Structure formats: C-alpha cells, structure tokens
Amino acid sequence: MQTLPPWPYPHLVAHRGAGTLAPENTLAAMRVGASFGYKMVEFDAKLSQDQVAILLHDAELDRTTNGRGKAADQPYAALAKLDAGLWFSAAFRGEPIPTLEAVARYTLSHNIASNIEIKPTPGLEGLTGTAIARQAKHDWHGASVPPLLSSFSLAALEAAQQEAPTLPRGWITSKLDENWRQTLRRLGCVSIHLHHLLLNEALLNDIHAGGFRVAAWTVNDPTRAATLLRWGVDSVITDALDLISAE
C-alpha cells in the first residue's frame, strides 16, 4: 500500500460557493457558504477574451448573468458590468462576476480553503490550464493551505502541471476505466473526484491503496454524506449546506 499524500482540506466542501443557496460562483455565494460554517469552497474558473481568470460554470453567460454569448468572446471590462446575481433572486441584484484574484483575497482573509475547478471554454483547454495555474500560483503564494486545482479536462490538468507543478491537482471524472491509475500518475494528481454514485467502500479502499485521495460530488443527501465519510472519503462536495452541517 502506498502512502497517501497530505490532505489539508476539510471533509465538507461547498459546491460553487454555496450550492443552491446563493448565485453560484460569486463572492455572495462564498459569504453564504461561510455563514454555514463551511471552510472550503469549490468553484469554476475560466478565461475572458483578454485572459482574465473569472468565475463562471458555463461557457455561455446566459444562464447565470444578464449577458449573452460566450464569456471567452468578451473582455473582462465588459464582463465586469454584468449582473450575476439577479437571475437567482432580487436580493442579489448587482452581484458581479468575480475574478479569481478577488476570490483568492476573500478566501485567504477568511481562512477558507479553495478547490479551483478549471472549467475551460471548449477549445481553450491548454491555455486555460496554464493561465489558471499561473494565477493560482501567484495569488496563493505562501498560503498555508494551497488551492487544489481540479478539472475534467486532461489537457487543462497537463498544462497546469507544467505551469505550477507544486500545486496539488485532482482529476474529476464521471467514469472509471482500467487506466485510471496511470492517468492519475501521469498527471501527478493527489486526488480523484468521482460522482458519489460511482463509489463503494471497496473502490474507495482500492483508490487509497493506490496512493490517491478521493473527493465525492455532488452529495446532497445527509445520510449518503455520512456513509461516505464513514467509509473514509476525504472530502464530500455538496449543495446542501443547510442540511449537512459543517460542524
């Protein structure tokens, strides 16, 4: 059995800042997550046209802002004027799309750990992986707990590995093939992030025996979360901050 890498992260992680309790991927969501006692947030990062790292899940702006089209087609100066809160409720009217730099300042000042999901606009995987890793390396320089860089995109993780080899990386996948160990080793990952329904105790033990940590997403049932944590899952990513206590 291989030795597991250090895991300085909490067992519970707030999905997209505050799950479904605030407009996802905003500083408002981070504040709501913190109000529930969560000490780690997961969020999605991609690039504007002029390569400013911003928080946004979709390639398009339409679902979570009052903008239209792809974020990658607009400079940050235009994106900064959009409303990323009103779609959720009037209480969040005027909430902007945050930069990764702003999120780093907030999380570091509040002692909150970060899981940065590199979420490239299709076609920009390598560029995004490099830019996000470079920004994270700069913004979290000297932090006692480094940000965890994760992605579904192998190309983005490869680029992040080259740009910031000392930052921990996790591969997100919704399925496991027979080469999963080789993929994790090739990318220098410390963890694999699996949809929670893929996990059972035997698989978890197998992954741990291979020397990798495990994060499970997105777990919104308290009983399921308790089961996964009892098995030894390293982190559970959840929307249900109001149901799954961080205490």
Give catalytic residue positions. Answer: 15, 57
Give the CB-side neighbour count of residue 226, counting CA atoms within 13 A.
7
Q: 125-139 and 100-109 helices cross at what angle (nearest 10)?
A: 30
Helix (H) or strand (E) holding 104: helix 100-109
Phi, psi torsion values for 162, nearest 5 degrees: -70, -40
The answer to whether residues 160 and 133 touch, using CB atoms and an 8 Å cutoff, is yes
Q: In b/e form, how buried is each residue of 113-125, taking b as 16+ CB within 10 angstroms?
A: bbbbbbbbbeebb
